């Protein structure tokens, strides 16, 4: 029997307030509404449980609250507790997999649910692409909607900007100009002048790029050496130029230019040259240019210039938020620029410190910088690893390096990177060590770790070489990758420690808040993912330090489902994005930057995604608990 039209209309009007129904075609919404039934569940009543058997119903909460409770040992793949509210639906995983649920779903208060039969659910999946996409990639779908909202919020202040997420194929302005490698330089320069172009690419008969020459090279390679203009192009060009595929994004080209100081990146498809992107092309996409900013940092001759560049990095982050650059891309860009700034500080200080010339050392980034996950609110975490020359002692080298390290730490503080309150800095004698000393202290943490050692390992095991003799840090990483998996007790201790930090999901309300009715997005949101990824990477010999890389590489080695890994990564990235937005808003209003947000200030969509992200954190922690009996 078909429901009355007025009831169908009222149901549709209610559902379109929530995802995914707000993205569905009216005809599909009406089709679904005609088939929905309304169910009532008293407070405490079980809606569905593992004992129910194969799931026969798709539920949408019309009014009330549903709690998900589970047996952690039996159900490793779901969060220990979850709380669902108006507009949310369940149990998608069981319906899609055609299996019983793992959790016990109970009404938290008197609750009304729309109910759709399993047959109609699968029919709707076939009919409606928006519904299918949501059900199979729920968190990713919600994140896309959030991204659209964020872009709309920032559009007013960045309306002149185009997108750094455009593919390179959309940025290429003309067909690439190329020549054979044996072309005389006179002909190359005449062609560049006639066409008004700043570069020339040498290609072989199959259009494969062999080398590049730019106007920037003219003075150094042609004029000053007094080059015979009959010299073939191949003797002057820069060989093996960097190339990206047409589908690569503008931000990736900008990142390559920033990292290596290039002014051009080739676009190559199937080995053939199809285009060229210059820094000028990318300047049009942003008011503060990534390549331009990196160039200023590289050429800086004093601390004052670097302090201005640090402020420009924050402005660039705002611009890229407006363009819809993802949290993963944005934190990598921020970290890359901070790396360049730190490197330039180190270069200037080395030049001003003749006493350390010839010393083999490596400046290591630790913590969030070591993971390439820096936001706009970050302090210093760094250390030094040095080699002991013959006839010297570690104490001698330490005495030599510490004054230099102190000057670097103070200079970075002036650039907006506060000194670490825990003194995890290279100027601390405890963290300015030889390779053998670092191995000794890591060995102590792994085999005789006290609580403070476990805390230190969560910072120091994320080390990454930043400046100097990188091989020293790589040797330490290789050693750690062999030693850490050997001690199951240490991994168990790390897991126990990590599981003390629970995501702030409430059983009787949305979120558990702390002082000032806030949630700490770093401690309670980001850290559960970071800790789990670190433990899995140590256990499985993964050398990566970035949390997403660790989850993906370790997850593959462990045989995790790809959709689970994607959900963990999406959840982590959303909380990072929320942190970046929070820091930007705090900076714009002159507030002190913190990671604490009042959940009542979030819109309905962000609140829903944050709840889902915390559920994924709990799900990952449940897996960690089972893996290490913690």
User: Sign of dihedral through CA atoms 246, 250, 252, 253?
Assistant: positive
Q: Calculate the CA dihedral of residues 60, 63, 68, 69 and round it to 10 degrees.
A: -140
Return the CATH number at 45. Answer: 2.60.120.10
Whether residues 125 and 221 share a domain: the answer is no
Same domain, 76 and 9: yes
**What's the pLDDT band for 27 if we cut at 50, 70, 90?**
very high
Residues 15 and 120 in one domain: yes
Strand bridging mode 57-63 / 66-69: unpaired
Across residues 190-199, what is the average pLDDT? 87
Which pLDDT score is estimated for 119? 96
pLDDT value for 139 = 61
Is residue 562 in a domain? yes
Which CATH number fits the domain that encloses residue 188?
A: 3.10.580.10
Domain ends where: 226, 259, 283? Answer: 283
- Is 256 among the domain residues? yes
pLDDT tens digits, 594-614: 899 998 888 878 888 898 899
Examine residue 76 and state whether it is found in any structural domain, yes or no: yes
Edge-first strand order for the sheet with 81-84 is 46-48, 104-107, 66-69, 81-84
345/297 Cα distance (integer angstroms): 9
Residues 609 and 511: beta-carbon distance below 8 Å? no
Q: Are residues 106 and 214 in the same domain?
A: no
Q: Which residues of 385-398 are buried (b: 16+ CB within 10 A; e: fewer)?
A: bbbbeeeeeeeebb
Question: CA–CA separation, 591 vs 578, rounded Å?
Answer: 17
Among 366-370, 372-376, 405-409, 593-597, the range scoring the smallest mean pLDDT is 372-376
The 10s digit of each residue's pLDDT in 69-87 is 754 333 333 333 567 888 9
Shared-domain flag, residues 177 and 130:
no
Cis peptide before 532 (omega within 30 of 0): no
Is 362 a member of any domain? no
Residues 13 and 77 both lie in one domain:
yes
Same domain, 540 and 606: yes
In tens, the pLDDT along 92-150 reads 888 988 889 878 899 989 999 999 999 999 999 999 998 988 887 766 656 666 655 55
Q: Which of 326-335, 525-534, 573-582 has the lowest mean pLDDT?
A: 326-335
* pLDDT score for 442: 96
Question: What integer pLDDT is reported at residue 43 of this predicted model?
Answer: 93
Residue 416 lies in a domain: no
Q: Does residue 126 share a domain with residue 174?
A: no
Q: What is the DSSP string of 146-176?
A: HHHHHHHHHHGGGTT---TTSBGGGT--SPP
Q: pLDDT tens digits, residue range 44-70?
A: 999 999 999 999 999 999 999 898 875
Residue ending a domain, among 283, 304, 338, is 283
141 domain-assigned: no
Sheet holding 361-365, edge to edge: 432-434, 382-386, 361-365, 464-468
Pick 280 or 579 by higher pLDDT.
579
Q: Where are the beta strands (DSSP E) in 76-134?
A: 81-84, 89-90, 104-107, 111-117
Note the pLDDT of residue 77. 38
Whole domain around residue 239: which residue ranges? 168-283
Phi first, then psi: give them for residue 505, nearest 5 degrees. -95, 135
Judgement on whether residues 269 and 197 belong to the same structural domain of the protein: yes
- Give me the pLDDT at residue 81, please: 54
The reply to whether 125 and 179 lie within a common domain is no
pTM recorded for the entire structure: 0.66
318 belongs to a structural domain = no
User: What distances in angstroms separate CA 325 from CA 72, 154, 252, 507, 527, one per listed residue?
Assistant: 37, 12, 11, 34, 23
Instruction: Answer yes or no: do 577 and 518 share one domain.
Output: yes
- Phi, psi of 421, deg, nearest 5: -65, -25
Q: Is the pLDDT of residue 470 over 80?
A: yes
What is the tally of structural domains in the chain? 3
Q: Tell me, what CATH number does 550's domain have? A: 1.20.120
Mean pLDDT, the chain, rounded, equals 87
> Predicted confidence band at 161 (pLDDT cuts at 50, 70, 90)?
very low
- The verdict on 125 and 215 lying in the same domain is no
Distance CA(515)–CA(145), nearest Å, equals 30
Domain boundary among 258, 283, 308: 283
- 239 lies in some domain: yes
Share of the chain above pLDDT 70, in %: 90
- What distance in Å separates the CA atoms of residue 612 and residue 503, rounded to the nearest whole number? 11
Share of the chain above pLDDT 90, in %: 53
């Amino acid at each position: 029997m078909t429901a009355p039209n007025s009831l169908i209309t009222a149901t549709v009007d209610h559902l379109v307030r929530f995802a995914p129904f707000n993205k569905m075609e009216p005809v599909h919404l009406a089709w679904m509404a005609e088939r929905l039934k309304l169910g009532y569940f008293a407070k405490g009543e079980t809606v569905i449980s593992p004992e129910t058997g194969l799931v026969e119903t798709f539920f949408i909460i019309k009014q009330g609250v549903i709690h998900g409770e589970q047996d952690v040992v039996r159900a490793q793949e779901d969060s220990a507790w979850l709380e669902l509210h108006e507009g949310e639906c369940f149990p998608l995983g069981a319906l899609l997999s055609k299996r019983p649920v793992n959790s016990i779903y109970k009404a938290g208060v008197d609750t009304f649910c729309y109910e759709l039969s399993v047959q109609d659910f699968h029919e709707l999946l076939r009919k409606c692409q928006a519904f299918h996409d949501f059900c199979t990639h729920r968190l990713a779908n919600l994140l896309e909607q959030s991204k659209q909202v964020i872009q709309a919020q920032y559009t007013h202040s960045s309306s002149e900007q185009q997108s750094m997420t455009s593919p390179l194929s959309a940025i290429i302005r003309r067909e690439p100009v190329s020549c054979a490698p044996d072309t005389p330089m006179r002909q190359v320069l005449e062609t560049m002048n006639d066409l008004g172009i700043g570069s020339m690419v040498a290609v072989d008969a199959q259009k494969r790029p062999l080398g590049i020459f730019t106007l920037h090279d003219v003075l150094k390679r042609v004029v000053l050496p007094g080059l015979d203009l009959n010299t073939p192009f191949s003797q002057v060009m820069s060989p093996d130029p960097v190339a990206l595929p047409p589908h690569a994004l503008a931000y990736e080209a900008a990142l390559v230019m920033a990292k290596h100081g290039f002014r051009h990146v080739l676009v190559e498809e199937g080995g053939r040259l199809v285009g060229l992107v210059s820094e000028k092309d990318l300047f049009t996409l942003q008011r503060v240019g990534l390549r331009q900013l990196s160039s200023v940092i590289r050429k800086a001759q004093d601390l004052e210039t670097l302090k201005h560049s640090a402020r420009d990095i924050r402005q660039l982050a705002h611009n890229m938020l407006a363009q819809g650059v993802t949290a993963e891309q944005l934190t990598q860009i921020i970290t890359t620029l901070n790396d360049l700034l730190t490197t330039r500080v180190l270069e200037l200080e080395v030049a001003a410190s003749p006493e350390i010339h010839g010393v083999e050392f490596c400046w290591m980034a630790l913590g969030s910088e070591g993971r390439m996950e820096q936001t706009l609110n970050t302090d210093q975490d760094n250390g030094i690893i040095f080699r002991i020359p013959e006839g010297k002692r570690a104490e001698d080298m330490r005495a030599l390096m510490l004054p230099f390290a102190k000057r670097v730490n103070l200079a970075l503080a002036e650039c907006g990177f506060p000194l670490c309150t825990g003194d995890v800095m290279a100027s601390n004698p405890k963290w300015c060590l030889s390779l053998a000393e670092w191995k000794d202290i890591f060995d102590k943490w792994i085999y005789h770790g006290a609580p403070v050692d476990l805390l230190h390992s969560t910072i120091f095991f994320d080390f990454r070489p930043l400046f100097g003799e990188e091989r020293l840090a790589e040797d330490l990483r290789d050693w750690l990758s062999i030693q850490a998996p050997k001690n199951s007790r240490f991994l168990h201790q790390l897991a126990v420690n990590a599981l003390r930090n629970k995501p702030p999901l409430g059983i009787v309300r949305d979120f558990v808040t702390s002082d000032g009715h806030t949630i700490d997005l770093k401690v309670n949101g980001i850290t559960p993912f970071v800790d789990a990824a670190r433990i899995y990477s140590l256990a499985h010999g993964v050398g990566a330090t970035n949390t997403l890389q660790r989850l993906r590489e370790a997850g593959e080695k462990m045989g995790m489902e790809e959709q689970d890994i994607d959900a963990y990564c999406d959840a982590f990235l959303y909380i990072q994005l929320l942190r970046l937005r929070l820091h930007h808003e705090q900076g714009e209003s002159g507030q002190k930057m913190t990671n604490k947000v009042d959940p009542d200030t979030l819109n309905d969509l962000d609140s829903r995604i944050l709840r889902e992200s915390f559920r994924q954190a709990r799900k990952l922690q449940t897996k960690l608990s089972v893996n290490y009996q913690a």
